[in-house]
Amino acid sequence: MNWIDHKLSIEIAVPREFNFFECLAFLNRSDKELLHQIKDDCLIKMLKIDDSLVLIKLTATRDRIRITFPIKTPSLRIREQIANYIWEWFDLESDLTPFYQWADQSELYRTLTQRYYGLRLIGIPNLFEAITWAIIGQQINLTFAYTIKARFIKQFGENLKFGSDCFWLFPSYERISVLNIADLKQLQFTTRKAEYVINIARMMDKGMLSKTALLNMDDYDQIKAFLLNIKGVGAWTADYVLMRCFHYPQAFPIADIGLHHALAMFVGTNHKMTTEEVLKIALDWQGYQGYITFYLWRSLYN
Protein backbone atom coordinates (compact mmCIF):
# COMPACT_ATOMS: atom_id res chain seq x y z
CA MET A 1 0.00 0.00 0.00
CA ASN A 2 1.31 3.39 -0.99
CA TRP A 3 -0.17 6.22 1.00
CA ILE A 4 0.81 9.71 2.05
CA ASP A 5 -0.29 11.29 5.29
CA HIS A 6 -0.98 15.02 5.32
CA LYS A 7 -2.49 15.04 8.81
CA LEU A 8 -5.70 16.79 7.75
CA SER A 9 -6.04 14.51 4.76
CA ILE A 10 -4.46 11.43 3.32
CA GLU A 11 -3.68 10.38 -0.22
CA ILE A 12 -3.31 6.99 -1.82
CA ALA A 13 -1.21 6.50 -4.92
CA VAL A 14 -3.17 4.39 -7.36
CA PRO A 15 -1.98 2.09 -10.16
CA ARG A 16 -2.12 3.25 -13.75
CA GLU A 17 -5.01 0.85 -14.37
CA PHE A 18 -7.37 2.72 -12.11
CA ASN A 19 -10.23 5.05 -12.86
CA PHE A 20 -12.01 6.53 -9.88
CA PHE A 21 -15.03 7.53 -11.96
CA GLU A 22 -15.53 4.04 -13.34
CA CYS A 23 -15.58 2.82 -9.75
CA LEU A 24 -18.08 5.53 -8.85
CA ALA A 25 -20.29 4.41 -11.73
CA PHE A 26 -20.50 0.94 -10.23
CA LEU A 27 -21.04 2.25 -6.70
CA ASN A 28 -23.80 4.45 -8.04
CA ARG A 29 -25.81 1.57 -9.51
CA SER A 30 -28.66 1.82 -7.04
CA ASP A 31 -30.34 4.95 -5.77
CA LYS A 32 -31.41 2.98 -2.70
CA GLU A 33 -27.85 2.53 -1.47
CA LEU A 34 -27.43 3.83 2.09
CA LEU A 35 -23.86 2.76 2.78
CA HIS A 36 -22.28 5.53 0.76
CA GLN A 37 -23.24 8.70 -1.00
CA ILE A 38 -22.06 10.03 -4.33
CA LYS A 39 -22.33 13.61 -5.46
CA ASP A 40 -20.25 15.92 -7.59
CA ASP A 41 -17.66 13.25 -8.37
CA CYS A 42 -16.96 12.62 -4.74
CA LEU A 43 -17.76 9.65 -2.58
CA ILE A 44 -18.72 9.91 1.08
CA LYS A 45 -18.90 6.99 3.45
CA MET A 46 -19.01 6.38 7.16
CA LEU A 47 -16.73 3.81 8.75
CA LYS A 48 -16.49 2.46 12.27
CA ILE A 49 -12.90 1.99 13.29
CA ASP A 50 -11.72 1.18 16.80
CA ASP A 51 -15.26 1.86 18.02
CA SER A 52 -15.41 5.38 16.66
CA LEU A 53 -17.40 6.67 13.72
CA VAL A 54 -15.44 8.38 10.97
CA LEU A 55 -16.82 10.13 7.95
CA ILE A 56 -14.54 10.04 4.94
CA LYS A 57 -14.78 11.91 1.67
CA LEU A 58 -12.97 10.61 -1.39
CA THR A 59 -12.02 12.62 -4.43
CA ALA A 60 -9.72 11.86 -7.33
CA THR A 61 -6.57 13.70 -8.27
CA ARG A 62 -4.49 12.83 -11.30
CA ASP A 63 -2.82 9.76 -9.85
CA ARG A 64 -4.16 9.57 -6.34
CA ILE A 65 -7.25 9.23 -4.24
CA ARG A 66 -7.54 12.04 -1.72
CA ILE A 67 -9.37 11.38 1.50
CA THR A 68 -10.62 14.18 3.71
CA PHE A 69 -12.66 14.15 6.89
CA PRO A 70 -15.74 16.40 6.81
CA ILE A 71 -16.56 16.07 10.51
CA LYS A 72 -13.42 15.37 12.46
CA THR A 73 -9.88 14.40 11.59
CA PRO A 74 -9.09 11.02 13.12
CA SER A 75 -5.84 10.02 14.78
CA LEU A 76 -2.84 8.86 12.76
CA ARG A 77 -3.52 5.28 13.81
CA ILE A 78 -7.04 5.48 12.42
CA ARG A 79 -5.91 7.36 9.30
CA GLU A 80 -3.66 4.44 8.51
CA GLN A 81 -6.51 1.98 8.92
CA ILE A 82 -8.64 4.12 6.62
CA ALA A 83 -5.91 4.02 3.99
CA ASN A 84 -5.83 0.23 4.33
CA TYR A 85 -9.59 0.07 4.04
CA ILE A 86 -9.63 2.08 0.81
CA TRP A 87 -6.81 -0.02 -0.59
CA GLU A 88 -8.86 -3.14 0.03
CA TRP A 89 -12.22 -1.67 -0.98
CA PHE A 90 -10.99 -0.63 -4.42
CA ASP A 91 -8.92 -3.79 -4.88
CA LEU A 92 -5.79 -1.72 -5.42
CA GLU A 93 -3.52 -4.64 -4.60
CA SER A 94 -4.47 -6.43 -7.83
CA ASP A 95 -2.32 -5.87 -10.87
CA LEU A 96 -4.66 -5.54 -13.84
CA THR A 97 -1.86 -5.47 -16.42
CA PRO A 98 -1.96 -9.20 -17.23
CA PHE A 99 -5.75 -9.17 -17.40
CA TYR A 100 -5.74 -6.26 -19.84
CA GLN A 101 -2.97 -7.85 -21.90
CA TRP A 102 -4.96 -11.04 -22.10
CA ALA A 103 -8.08 -9.13 -23.13
CA ASP A 104 -6.15 -7.23 -25.81
CA GLN A 105 -5.64 -10.46 -27.75
CA SER A 106 -9.35 -10.71 -28.46
CA GLU A 107 -11.45 -8.08 -30.15
CA LEU A 108 -14.41 -9.05 -28.04
CA TYR A 109 -12.78 -8.84 -24.63
CA ARG A 110 -10.83 -5.74 -25.60
CA THR A 111 -14.08 -3.82 -26.05
CA LEU A 112 -15.05 -4.76 -22.51
CA THR A 113 -11.79 -3.73 -20.86
CA GLN A 114 -11.55 -0.55 -22.91
CA ARG A 115 -15.11 0.48 -22.20
CA TYR A 116 -14.61 0.17 -18.44
CA TYR A 117 -10.88 0.77 -18.32
CA GLY A 118 -9.74 1.30 -14.74
CA LEU A 119 -12.77 -0.22 -13.08
CA ARG A 120 -11.69 -2.22 -10.05
CA LEU A 121 -13.49 -5.11 -8.42
CA ILE A 122 -15.16 -3.11 -5.67
CA GLY A 123 -15.00 -5.15 -2.50
CA ILE A 124 -17.20 -5.66 0.51
CA PRO A 125 -14.56 -5.76 3.24
CA ASN A 126 -17.06 -6.54 6.01
CA LEU A 127 -17.59 -10.32 5.99
CA PHE A 128 -21.00 -10.22 7.64
CA GLU A 129 -22.16 -7.64 5.11
CA ALA A 130 -20.79 -9.64 2.19
CA ILE A 131 -22.53 -12.88 3.20
CA THR A 132 -25.77 -11.18 4.23
CA TRP A 133 -25.95 -9.16 1.04
CA ALA A 134 -25.42 -12.30 -1.01
CA ILE A 135 -28.17 -14.12 0.86
CA ILE A 136 -30.58 -11.22 0.53
CA GLY A 137 -29.93 -11.22 -3.21
CA GLN A 138 -30.59 -14.91 -3.73
CA GLN A 139 -33.40 -15.55 -6.22
CA ILE A 140 -34.94 -12.07 -6.14
CA ASN A 141 -34.41 -9.16 -8.47
CA LEU A 142 -31.76 -6.61 -7.53
CA THR A 143 -34.22 -3.76 -7.10
CA PHE A 144 -36.09 -5.69 -4.46
CA ALA A 145 -32.82 -6.83 -2.89
CA TYR A 146 -31.79 -3.20 -2.44
CA THR A 147 -35.16 -2.41 -0.91
CA ILE A 148 -34.71 -5.15 1.67
CA LYS A 149 -31.13 -4.14 2.35
CA ALA A 150 -32.20 -0.55 2.94
CA ARG A 151 -34.91 -1.66 5.39
CA PHE A 152 -32.43 -3.91 7.17
CA ILE A 153 -29.92 -1.08 7.54
CA LYS A 154 -32.48 1.48 8.69
CA GLN A 155 -33.92 -0.93 11.21
CA PHE A 156 -30.73 -2.30 12.73
CA GLY A 157 -27.79 -0.16 11.61
CA GLU A 158 -26.15 2.81 13.28
CA ASN A 159 -26.45 6.20 11.70
CA LEU A 160 -24.90 9.60 11.91
CA LYS A 161 -26.60 12.78 10.84
CA PHE A 162 -24.48 15.53 9.38
CA GLY A 163 -26.22 18.59 8.03
CA SER A 164 -29.10 17.38 5.93
CA ASP A 165 -27.41 14.03 5.24
CA CYS A 166 -27.65 10.79 7.12
CA PHE A 167 -24.90 8.19 6.94
CA TRP A 168 -25.42 4.55 7.81
CA LEU A 169 -23.39 1.57 8.88
CA PHE A 170 -24.31 -1.96 7.91
CA PRO A 171 -25.84 -3.68 10.97
CA SER A 172 -23.34 -5.52 13.15
CA TYR A 173 -23.56 -9.27 13.61
CA GLU A 174 -23.80 -8.63 17.37
CA ARG A 175 -27.03 -6.73 16.82
CA ILE A 176 -28.47 -9.30 14.42
CA SER A 177 -27.46 -12.29 16.55
CA VAL A 178 -30.09 -11.44 19.16
CA LEU A 179 -33.00 -11.11 16.73
CA ASN A 180 -35.92 -13.46 16.15
CA ILE A 181 -36.94 -14.72 12.76
CA ALA A 182 -40.07 -12.57 12.95
CA ASP A 183 -37.91 -9.44 13.25
CA LEU A 184 -36.53 -10.05 9.77
CA LYS A 185 -39.70 -11.47 8.25
CA GLN A 186 -41.38 -8.16 8.85
CA LEU A 187 -38.77 -6.61 6.54
CA GLN A 188 -39.84 -9.24 3.98
CA PHE A 189 -36.99 -11.63 4.41
CA THR A 190 -38.29 -15.11 3.69
CA THR A 191 -38.33 -17.44 6.68
CA ARG A 192 -35.32 -19.27 5.36
CA LYS A 193 -33.27 -16.19 4.66
CA ALA A 194 -34.10 -14.86 8.11
CA GLU A 195 -32.86 -18.14 9.61
CA TYR A 196 -29.70 -18.09 7.53
CA VAL A 197 -28.77 -14.51 8.37
CA ILE A 198 -29.45 -14.82 12.10
CA ASN A 199 -27.58 -18.11 12.24
CA ILE A 200 -24.57 -16.55 10.53
CA ALA A 201 -24.69 -13.58 12.89
CA ARG A 202 -24.69 -16.00 15.84
CA MET A 203 -21.80 -17.98 14.38
CA MET A 204 -19.80 -14.79 14.06
CA ASP A 205 -20.79 -13.65 17.54
CA LYS A 206 -19.55 -16.94 18.98
CA GLY A 207 -16.33 -16.71 17.02
CA MET A 208 -17.16 -19.77 14.92
CA LEU A 209 -16.88 -17.68 11.76
CA SER A 210 -14.55 -14.74 11.26
CA LYS A 211 -12.78 -13.04 8.41
CA THR A 212 -9.47 -13.37 10.21
CA ALA A 213 -9.81 -17.13 10.52
CA LEU A 214 -10.75 -17.48 6.87
CA LEU A 215 -7.89 -15.21 5.81
CA ASN A 216 -5.53 -17.48 7.73
CA MET A 217 -6.68 -20.44 5.64
CA ASP A 218 -5.06 -18.58 2.76
CA ASP A 219 -6.55 -20.90 0.18
CA TYR A 220 -9.52 -20.49 -2.17
CA ASP A 221 -10.70 -24.10 -1.95
CA GLN A 222 -10.42 -24.28 1.83
CA ILE A 223 -12.36 -21.08 2.38
CA LYS A 224 -14.97 -22.18 -0.12
CA ALA A 225 -15.40 -25.55 1.59
CA PHE A 226 -15.81 -23.81 4.94
CA LEU A 227 -18.40 -21.39 3.56
CA LEU A 228 -20.34 -24.18 1.87
CA ASN A 229 -20.88 -25.83 5.24
CA ILE A 230 -22.90 -22.83 6.38
CA LYS A 231 -26.65 -23.15 5.92
CA GLY A 232 -27.83 -20.79 3.23
CA VAL A 233 -24.46 -20.64 1.51
CA GLY A 234 -24.32 -22.52 -1.76
CA ALA A 235 -21.78 -22.36 -4.55
CA TRP A 236 -23.02 -19.03 -5.85
CA THR A 237 -22.88 -17.31 -2.46
CA ALA A 238 -19.51 -18.82 -1.57
CA ASP A 239 -17.96 -17.57 -4.78
CA TYR A 240 -19.67 -14.22 -4.43
CA VAL A 241 -18.07 -13.80 -1.00
CA LEU A 242 -14.69 -15.08 -2.19
CA MET A 243 -14.88 -12.48 -4.93
CA ARG A 244 -16.17 -9.42 -3.07
CA CYS A 245 -14.72 -9.98 0.40
CA PHE A 246 -11.57 -12.02 -0.21
CA HIS A 247 -10.63 -10.78 -3.69
CA TYR A 248 -9.72 -14.16 -5.11
CA PRO A 249 -9.27 -13.62 -8.85
CA GLN A 250 -10.57 -17.11 -9.64
CA ALA A 251 -13.78 -16.64 -7.63
CA PHE A 252 -16.57 -17.14 -10.13
CA PRO A 253 -20.29 -17.22 -9.28
CA ILE A 254 -20.97 -19.33 -12.33
CA ALA A 255 -24.73 -19.70 -11.86
CA ASP A 256 -25.30 -15.95 -11.54
CA ILE A 257 -28.31 -14.95 -13.62
CA GLY A 258 -27.01 -11.41 -14.12
CA LEU A 259 -23.77 -12.83 -15.47
CA HIS A 260 -25.76 -15.06 -17.83
CA HIS A 261 -27.72 -12.13 -19.20
CA ALA A 262 -24.67 -9.94 -19.59
CA LEU A 263 -22.74 -12.71 -21.25
CA ALA A 264 -25.59 -13.48 -23.65
CA MET A 265 -25.63 -9.84 -24.75
CA PHE A 266 -21.85 -9.75 -24.86
CA VAL A 267 -21.48 -12.71 -27.20
CA GLY A 268 -24.69 -11.83 -29.03
CA THR A 269 -26.90 -14.82 -28.50
CA ASN A 270 -30.62 -14.36 -28.15
CA HIS A 271 -31.42 -17.39 -25.99
CA LYS A 272 -30.90 -17.96 -22.29
CA MET A 273 -27.49 -19.23 -21.33
CA THR A 274 -27.10 -22.52 -19.58
CA THR A 275 -24.42 -22.98 -16.96
CA GLU A 276 -22.69 -25.40 -19.35
CA GLU A 277 -22.47 -22.71 -22.04
CA VAL A 278 -21.07 -20.23 -19.54
CA LEU A 279 -18.47 -22.77 -18.45
CA LYS A 280 -17.49 -23.39 -22.03
CA ILE A 281 -17.06 -19.70 -22.81
CA ALA A 282 -15.20 -19.20 -19.53
CA LEU A 283 -12.66 -21.93 -20.24
CA ASP A 284 -10.03 -19.35 -21.16
CA TRP A 285 -10.83 -16.95 -18.34
CA GLN A 286 -8.41 -18.72 -16.00
CA GLY A 287 -7.38 -16.33 -13.27
CA TYR A 288 -9.60 -13.52 -14.54
CA GLN A 289 -13.02 -15.00 -13.80
CA GLY A 290 -13.79 -12.54 -11.03
CA TYR A 291 -12.82 -9.47 -13.03
CA ILE A 292 -14.61 -10.56 -16.17
CA THR A 293 -17.72 -11.29 -14.13
CA PHE A 294 -17.47 -7.88 -12.52
CA TYR A 295 -16.99 -6.10 -15.84
CA LEU A 296 -19.95 -7.98 -17.29
CA TRP A 297 -22.07 -6.96 -14.31
CA ARG A 298 -21.00 -3.41 -14.95
CA SER A 299 -22.29 -3.73 -18.51
CA LEU A 300 -25.78 -4.30 -17.11
CA TYR A 301 -25.95 -0.75 -15.72
CA ASN A 302 -25.80 1.79 -18.45
Partner DNA sequence: ATCCAGGAACTGT
Partner DNA sequence: ACAGTTCATGGA
Rounded to whole angstroms, how far apart are CA atoms 87 and 152?
A: 27
Provide, rounded to whole angstroms, the least separation between the CB of residue 123 and DNA.
11
Rounded to whole angstroms, how far apart are CA atoms 103 and 107?
A: 8
- Pick between residue 46 and residue 241 the one whose CB is nearest to DNA: 241
User: For the chain, where are the alpha helices, taking DSSP H only?
Assistant: 20-27, 76-89, 97-104, 107-115, 127-137, 142-156, 173-177, 181-185, 191-205, 211-217, 220-228, 235-244, 257-267, 275-281, 289-298
Residue closest to 291 by CA, chosen among 113, 154, 159: 113
- Pick between residue 61 and residue 191 the one whose CB is nearest to DNA: 191
- Pick between residue 160 and residue 257 the one whose CB is nearest to DNA: 257
Provide, rounded to whole angstroms, the least separation between the CB of residue 151 and DNA.
11
Provide, rounded to whole angstroms, the least separation between the CB of residue 94 and DNA.
17
- Pick between residue 31 and residue 40 the one whose CB is nearest to DNA: 31
- Pick between residue 162 and residue 301 the one whose CB is nearest to DNA: 301
256 belongs to the catalytic site: yes
Provide, rounded to whole angstroms, the least separation between the CB of residue 220 and DNA.
16
Catalytic residue among 50, 183, 205, 256: 256
CA 33 to each of CA 116, 142, 164, 167, 197: distance values in angstroms, whole numbers, following the listed order: 22, 12, 17, 11, 20
CA 167 to each of CA 134, 157, 175, 215, 298: distance values in angstroms, whole numbers, following the listed order: 22, 10, 18, 29, 25
Residues of this chain that interact with DNA (CB under 7 A) are 29, 134, 137-145, 147, 185, 188, 190-192, 230-238, 240, 244, 253, 255-258, 261, 297
Instruction: For 113, list phi and psi in degrees, rounded to 5.
Output: -75, -25
User: For 11-89, where are the alpha helices, taking DSSP H only?
Assistant: 20-27, 76-89
Provide, rounded to whole angstroms, the least separation between the CB of residue 143 and DNA.
4
Tell me which residues are annotated as active site: 256
